[in-house]
Structure 1
Amino acid sequence: MDSNAQTTERSWIAQRLESDGPDLLQMWQTIWRRKWSILSLMLVVMMVAALAAFSLTPIYRAGATLLIEQKKANVVSIEQVYGLEGTGNEYLQTQFELLKSRALAERVVRQLNLTTHPEFDPRQQPEPLIDIGGLLASFNITKAIPAILPDDLEEDVDPTEAKIFDEVTKAFMERVSIAPLGKSQLVKVQVDMADPRMATKAANAMANGFIEAQLEATMEMSMTATNWMNSRLGELRTKLKDAEDRLQAFREKENLVDVDGVATISAAELSLTGDRMIDARRQRAEAQSQYQQVQSMRGGGWEKLATIPAVLGHPLIQQFKADEAKARAKVDELSKRYGARHPAMEAARSDLSAASGSLRGQVEQIVAGIERNYQLAVANENSLQASFNANKSQIQDISRKEFKLRELQREVDGNRALYDTFMTRLKETAATSDLESANARVVDQAVLPTAPIKPKKSLIIALAGILALMAGVGITLLLEMLNNTFKGTEEIENKLNLPVLGILPLIKNKQREQVAHLFTSNEDRSFSESIRTIRTGVVLSGMDDPHKILVVTSSIPGEGKSTVAANLACALGQMEKVLLIDADMRRPTMAKNFGFAVGTPGLANLIAGTAKLEECVKHIEGIDMLSAGAVPPNPLELLSSARFEKVVEFLRSKYDRIVIDSPPTQAVSDALVLGTLANALIYVVKSEATPIPLVQKGIGQLLQNNAPVTGIVLNQVDIKKAQKQGYSYGGYYDYYGYSSDAQKA
């Protein structure tokens, strides 16, 4: 194989290795190969699950249906005291939590006496498989390690009735479930127990106990409200009496009989006085006006005073003026006829003087009357003003008393109304205290369950099967991932990009010496046919350039390379003149396998020149064999020497084919040296044993040193196991030969 081809091949292998990733098809093939193991695991787990499910105690579920009304039917109007009004989800959730309460559970435990029921009573529980308490007692742990034991150990050994009741209550609460039915006000009270009859009784007891607890709570709240109202009523009665006493004391202190009547009279008098004061003020103003006119005319004589409108308009003044005018007219008339001393004139003047005097006297009298009227008007106005002010003060005083009186009256009325209200509520509560009314009622009583709800045997078995299937698949994939070895020919060709020359079946119950002669003895036809297949591959791969020097190697010791080399050499010896050389001078096997005498010279002696070729080569089973000889201290130096090359060249001219058993590649570097001298190299891989990276590393080293790696031999394949796991080897295996051997077996 030339250098360019080897470089291209190494590059292609590297690309394949880098591109390897999760292959779903490969995963499926792995699972399919292990299908019977996975199915067997699933079947076993399902059988165990079935046994476990049928051994479990069946649990029955009984349920009673309750209708919880959001608002209680109000018998009395005192729901504010009871606090029973509620709407919405919060109210229903509160009722659900009350159904789950410990108080209700304790009520049912007492009612049904569950502390003595075998399902709950810890004293009647079956004995455990391992009595830890007994073991501790036998070892006297309390004395050995007192610090780590609880103080109440004796109580744990002999539990009290209270502790038993507490444990039974907790256990019963775990068996109770509350399930609302959709968005309705119906709720299902369910109890799970192994005893279906007791479960039915417990469910009905839960429902009825909830209703009874509600009624008892209502009664208790009613009694509490009654007691509170009685005490409150006494306080209100005292307050009402104090208010009435203060009102009566105020009436007596102020000498009040009828404030409303007194206020009405005072208001009427004040109104009348006001009207009279207005008239008096008007009269005083008129009198003042006349008085001021009189005062302004006082210095001009009575004639001026007579011109005042108030005087002039007086009827008497007008009459006296008329009399004076007549007397003056008479004087004027007589003066034309008589002289001044005429008696008629004197009589006329005397009449005129008398008329003027009368007019004057009347004017003065009227003026005096105007002055008196003014004084009387002022006095009258002042008197009415004083009376008005007195009435006003009296009304204000009455108003103040009225306000105080009304304040006291309102206090009395408020206390009386509150007292009457509490009295009415108290009578209503007392009258309806024995009326039972709850906010819940039983719609459906619990009936005796006929079928258990658990264990769901079919579901348990199905789940166990599914889990087992998943576990089997997971374990298979995990083992496949951890088992990083070659298990089939396709895997070798895909990962190494090298042909598989053949596979060799696993030979059981045979010693290494026997396996080395297996082809010649033909004891195992399948093995012999496999060797022939490898021989055919080697021969056909060298049709153009026969592989005269054939090196057989492996990654690590124990993979069967020496067996392959010996049997392949025997197979080739049936057609050609073949020499088998044991070049593994560190761990030689040929001399032992073929019964060479101790001290028989071999390859090491030939290279060192201490023995001749005729002394070293032995003819056995149709071929010539050259054993390793005396184990030298420096095998690699011998194989790397020019003398070894000359030996190989000489032997090449004498034999048609030379098969060299080489040391493993990962143990020493001898195979790399031998590979440079070979025309073909067969790499032996032990099935399901050699790690893939190790093989890749070994082949990579050989290719880097231009070794002519021809193909792979998959050795020690467990055919039966492989066929059970679904591996197929196709044309690499003689099925008929194997089947006949199997029939013989």
Structure 2
Amino acid sequence: MESIAPSSVRPRAIQRLDFDEKVDLLHTWQVIWSSKWSILSLVLVAMLATVVVLFGITPTYRAITTLLIEQQKANIVAIEQIYGTESSQSEYLQTQFELLKSRTLAEQVVRKLNLTTHPEFDPRQKPKPLINVSALLSRFLKAKPAAQPGELPGTVPDVLAGSVPTEEARIFKDVTSAFMDRIVIEPIPKSQLVKIQVDMADAPMAARAANALANGYIEAQLEASMAMSANATAWMHTRLGELRDKLTESENRLQAYREAENLVDLDGVTTINAAELSLTGNRMIDARRQRAEAESQYRQVQSMREGGWEKLATIPAVLGNPLIQQFKAEEARARAKVEELSKRYGSRHPAMEAARTELNAASASLRGQVEQIVAGIERNYQLALANEGSLKNSYNANKTQIQNISRKEFQVRELQREVEANRALYETFMTRLKETTATSDLETANARIIDPATVPSRPIKPQKGLIVVLVGILALLAGAGISLLLNSLNDTFKSTEDVENNLNLPVLGILPMIKKQERGQLAKLFTSHEHRTFAESIRTIRTAVILSGMNSSHHEILVVTSSIPGEGKSTVAANLALALGQMEKVLLIDADLRRPTLAKNYDFPVGTPGLANLIANTARLEDCIRHSNGIDMLSAGAVPPNPLELLSSPRFSSVLETLKKKYDRIVIDSPPTQAVSDAAILATQANALIYVIKSESTPIPLVQKGVGQMLQNNAPITGVVLNQVNVKKAKKYMNKYGGYYDYYGYSSDDKKATGT
């Protein structure tokens, strides 16, 4: 018997390859496809349930009113200038949207439409639940203050004090909140349009509510505008009275100042004094020049006065006088006449005397004229000096007077500017007030309805078709996910690849699932012609067993075992023995001394001796052997109290040696490996061991543990038989059974017999 080193085989048999395998999309699709009917059933059930639920849901209708909100309003009273309400476009529109969603506007609509009595909102008209969970929770979670002695909570004193709202107020508050939850304000991008949407089960009421919201908003804006206009008008009246009083006061101050300063015509006075001052200044300049000239002549006269009148006559001012020149000319003629007569006559000549008398008269006239001119020069100097002083005094007096008038003019101008400013402001307010009074009955609003809401004909929710489709898609995804989850959680052997990858053992064959058959019929199924598929599978396993023993020692003793009971090891052992019996002399031994099945399956008489009797030497071999369906069978016999000791005894080894000489092949039905240790004992006597695994039932770790135990005991594991495989499902699931399973004759009668 060939030995297998556990150290070289067990790690490969036990190690999982989960972390090294890549995600196989085809495998995922095959898993989903294998569960398609379950998934479709789930989808159908979910969609039907959704349809039933949707028919019980009250439809909701949406009414839409389109409103145009304009930022620029008719500037009648110019309130923006008074209150400063100009803002950016986005902030203004955002403010209006918030006003549309305000609780005040919602309360107006609730009152106008009397929604507190509408069945959709009135809590008194809604069916009450059997158990009000929220009320119970609020009662326990919300602590209330203790009532005063003789006073119940929520009585009249509490209501009057305002601590407990009335029932109507509470209902109105709840209805308003519920109505606000049904309002949707949706601005239209890049425009000043906004949609006012109201969702209600009552379609006509939804349209009325949407229009009422729009009209209420417009009316509120009008009322606010009129209130602002009224406030502005009142303020302007008050301000106008103040300005009138201020204007009167400023005018009175101006008039009082004029009267106090005796200023009748300030402009005329200012003009005359300025001209007089200018003229006086010019005259003073002339007088100063004249005085300088007169002073110069005067000083010449004073300097030559000692020299007599002759010296005075040489002064340019005197000499330049025409009379002086005339008198000098007459004196010169008289002197010339005297000189001429002196040459002819004597000094006593009458002619001489007449000439000298004429000369003296001319000299006296000249002297008198010189003295007169000199006196005139002195007099002119005195007059010029006095004139200059007079003009200087007059100029200084006018200058002081003009300075006083300038100061008065400045004060008057300041008072006049105050009067003019007050008059202009008063006239502006008077004009604006007249405009406001003329247009006080004109109502303007910054919004108007573009499209009023109409009664909606189709509900917006529930969108039954879309919901059903979405539920179907979600159910489909959930079903696929559940299938993948169950497949990942199903840590069992579902295919031959699972066996080879997890155990590193060859698969001798698979056996299809047989339904609606009794245990006794399963043990004889190979000889029955009702399940050709099962028979072909047994033949495939038989061929694999025979071929596996050709390269080594002949598999004379073949042990069939499994991990746990119920995997079909006894069925495999019985049918494999029947298949081998068609070619060889075969003995089937039931070595499961704790739960024997062979005698029951083949209807052996009660008390028929078997293996236990043979080992205990209480019966002969001929009495224990039974022949059926072409093979010999050795049942378990009487159930012993010590099965393991019997199988471990030398007597059992000698029995097998005796039987090996009489039969070509011995097939032993062994107990499960994880139940008892009998399989390990039997494996030491065998040439081959077949490990039976129930498809999609036995956990992989459990099989790995059983196979590992067998390998540690040097059990000659030939291969694995995958039992109770759903052939139709497995074929669609993996479609890879060409090398292990020849699917011949799977006709309609096989389907009927297998219940598929």
| TM-score category (smaller protein) | 0.7 to 0.9
Give the 5 Å matches for 1:16-35.
18-35=19-36
Q: Which moved more, 1:85-94 or 1:253-262?
A: 85-94
1:712 to 708, 716, 720: 720
1:287 to 294, 297, 301: 294
**Residues 119-175 of structure 1: CA distance to partner in whole angstroms, max 9, x if unpaired?**
1111111233545489x69xxx97xx6975799889999961111111222222222
1:654 CA drift (Å): 6.1
1:226 and 2:227 correspond: no
1:424 to 431, 434, 443: 431
User: Which amino acid in 2 is paired with 1:169?
Assistant: T
1:104 and 2:113 correspond: no
Give the 5 Å matches for 1:88-487.
88-128=89-129, 130-132=131-133, 148=143, 160-181=167-188, 183-294=190-301, 305-326=312-333, 329=336, 362-363=369-370, 365-487=372-494
Q: Which moved more, 1:725-734 or 1:149-158?
A: 149-158
1:389 CA drift (Å): 1.8
CA contact (8 A) 1:71 1:85 kept: no
Residues 1:553 and 1:332: Cα distance change in structure 2 (over 3 Å):
farther
**In structure 1, C-alpha distance between the alignment counterparts of 2:12 and 2:303, rounded to whole Å:** 153
**Secondary structure, counterpart of 1:19 in structure 2:** coil
**In structure 2, C-alpha distance between the alignment counterparts of 1:245 and 1:433, rounded to whole Å:** 35
User: Which amino acid in 2 is paired with 1:206?
Assistant: L
Residues 1:743 and 1:523: Cα distance change in structure 2 (over 3 Å):
closer
Match of 2:695 in 1: 687
CA contact (8 A) 1:551 1:659 kept: yes
CA contact (8 A) 2:591 2:671 kept: yes
**Secondary structure, counterpart of 1:732 in structure 2:** coil
**In structure 2, C-alpha distance between the alignment counterparts of 1:370 and 1:582, rounded to whole Å:** 185
1:655 CA drift (Å): 4.8
**In structure 2, C-alpha distance between the alignment counterparts of 1:4 and 1:600, rounded to whole Å:** 35
Residues 1:25 and 1:359: Cα distance change in structure 2 (over 3 Å):
same
**In structure 1, C-alpha distance between the alignment counterparts of 2:521 and 2:13, rounded to whole Å:** 40
Q: Which moved more, 1:148-157 or 1:32-41?
A: 148-157
Residues 1:589 and 1:274: Cα distance change in structure 2 (over 3 Å):
farther
1:560 CA drift (Å): 4.0
**In structure 2, C-alpha distance between the alignment counterparts of 1:10 and 1:133, rounded to whole Å:** 62
**Secondary structure, counterpart of 1:72 in structure 2:** coil
**Residues 494-516 of structure 1: CA distance to partner in whole angstroms, max 9, x if unpaired?**
65565432223456677878866
CA contact (8 A) 2:599 2:635 kept: no
1:98 CA drift (Å): 2.8
1:492 CA drift (Å): 3.6
Residues 1:304 and 1:581: Cα distance change in structure 2 (over 3 Å):
farther
1:584 CA drift (Å): 7.7
**In structure 1, C-alpha distance between the alignment counterparts of 2:701 and 2:14, rounded to whole Å:** 13
Residues 1:657 and 1:36: Cα distance change in structure 2 (over 3 Å):
same
**TM-score of the pair, normalised by structure 2:** 0.80
1:619 to 625, 628, 631: 625
User: How many residue pairs get matched?
Assistant: 731
Residues 1:601 and 1:87: Cα distance change in structure 2 (over 3 Å):
closer
1:117 CA drift (Å): 1.4
Residues 1:259 and 1:670: Cα distance change in structure 2 (over 3 Å):
farther
1:250 CA drift (Å): 1.6
Match of 1:54 in 2: 55
1:457 CA drift (Å): 1.5
Residues 1:133 and 1:689: Cα distance change in structure 2 (over 3 Å):
same
**Secondary structure, counterpart of 2:434 in structure 1:** helix
CA contact (8 A) 2:57 2:462 kept: yes
CA contact (8 A) 1:71 1:84 kept: no
Higher helix share: 1
**In structure 1, C-alpha distance between the alignment counterparts of 2:89 and 2:710, rounded to whole Å:** 84
**In structure 2, C-alpha distance between the alignment counterparts of 1:21 and 1:669, rounded to whole Å:** 38
CA contact (8 A) 1:32 1:726 kept: no
1:367 CA drift (Å): 4.1
User: Which amino acid in 2 is paired with 1:732?
Assistant: Y
1:33 CA drift (Å): 0.8
Match of 2:39 in 1: 38
**In structure 1, C-alpha distance between the alignment counterparts of 2:66 and 2:573, rounded to whole Å:** 86
**Secondary structure, counterpart of 2:697 in structure 1:** coil
**In structure 1, C-alpha distance between the alignment counterparts of 2:68 and 2:87, rounded to whole Å:** 15
**In structure 2, C-alpha distance between the alignment counterparts of 1:672 and 1:308, rounded to whole Å:** 179
1:446 CA drift (Å): 3.1
**Residues 176-227 of structure 1: CA distance to partner in whole angstroms, max 9, x if unpaired?**
3334456444444333322222223323323333333333223222222222
5+ residue gaps, structure 1, are none
CA contact (8 A) 1:31 1:473 kept: yes
**In structure 1, C-alpha distance between the alignment counterparts of 2:498 and 2:455, rounded to whole Å:** 64
Residues 1:386 and 1:508: Cα distance change in structure 2 (over 3 Å):
same
1:683 CA drift (Å): 2.8
Q: Which moved more, 1:461-470 or 1:356-365?
A: 356-365
1:485 CA drift (Å): 1.6
**In structure 1, C-alpha distance between the alignment counterparts of 2:719 and 2:268, rounded to whole Å:** 139
Residues 1:362 and 1:617: Cα distance change in structure 2 (over 3 Å):
farther
**In structure 2, C-alpha distance between the alignment counterparts of 1:297 and 1:703, rounded to whole Å:** 173
Match of 1:547 in 2: 555
**In structure 2, C-alpha distance between the alignment counterparts of 1:288 and 1:39, rounded to whole Å:** 143
1:265 CA drift (Å): 1.6
CA contact (8 A) 2:338 2:356 kept: yes
Match of 2:580 in 1: 572
CA contact (8 A) 2:211 2:452 kept: yes
User: Which amino acid in 2 is paired with 1:534?
Assistant: I
**Secondary structure, counterpart of 1:682 in structure 2:** strand
1:732 to 741, 744, 756: 741
**In structure 1, C-alpha distance between the alignment counterparts of 2:609 and 2:356, rounded to whole Å:** 219
CA contact (8 A) 1:78 1:425 kept: no
CA contact (8 A) 1:601 1:630 kept: no
Residues 1:90 and 1:158: Cα distance change in structure 2 (over 3 Å):
closer
1:476 CA drift (Å): 1.1
**In structure 2, C-alpha distance between the alignment counterparts of 1:282 and 1:634, rounded to whole Å:** 171
Residues 1:601 and 1:272: Cα distance change in structure 2 (over 3 Å):
same
Match of 1:68 in 2: 69
Q: Which moved more, 1:288-297 or 1:473-482?
A: 288-297
Residues 1:524 and 1:367: Cα distance change in structure 2 (over 3 Å):
same
CA contact (8 A) 2:4 2:711 kept: no
Q: Which moved more, 1:716-725 or 1:317-326?
A: 716-725
Residues 1:247 and 1:434: Cα distance change in structure 2 (over 3 Å):
same
**Secondary structure, counterpart of 2:213 in structure 1:** helix
Give the 5 Å matches for 1:509-524.
none
**In structure 1, C-alpha distance between the alignment counterparts of 2:349 and 2:91, rounded to whole Å:** 135
**In structure 2, C-alpha distance between the alignment counterparts of 1:590 and 1:444, rounded to whole Å:** 87
Residues 1:328 and 1:706: Cα distance change in structure 2 (over 3 Å):
farther
**Residues 508-535 of structure 1: CA distance to partner in whole angstroms, max 9, x if unpaired?**
6778788667667899766555433322
**Residues 309-330 of structure 1: CA distance to partner in whole angstroms, max 9, x if unpaired?**
3333222333344345445556
User: Which amino acid in 2 is paired with 1:548?
Assistant: E
5+ residue gaps, structure 2, are 147-152
CA contact (8 A) 1:525 1:738 kept: no
**In structure 1, C-alpha distance between the alignment counterparts of 2:367 and 2:723, rounded to whole Å:** 181
Residues 1:373 and 1:525: Cα distance change in structure 2 (over 3 Å):
same
Residues 1:471 and 1:361: Cα distance change in structure 2 (over 3 Å):
same
1:534 to 538, 541, 562: 541
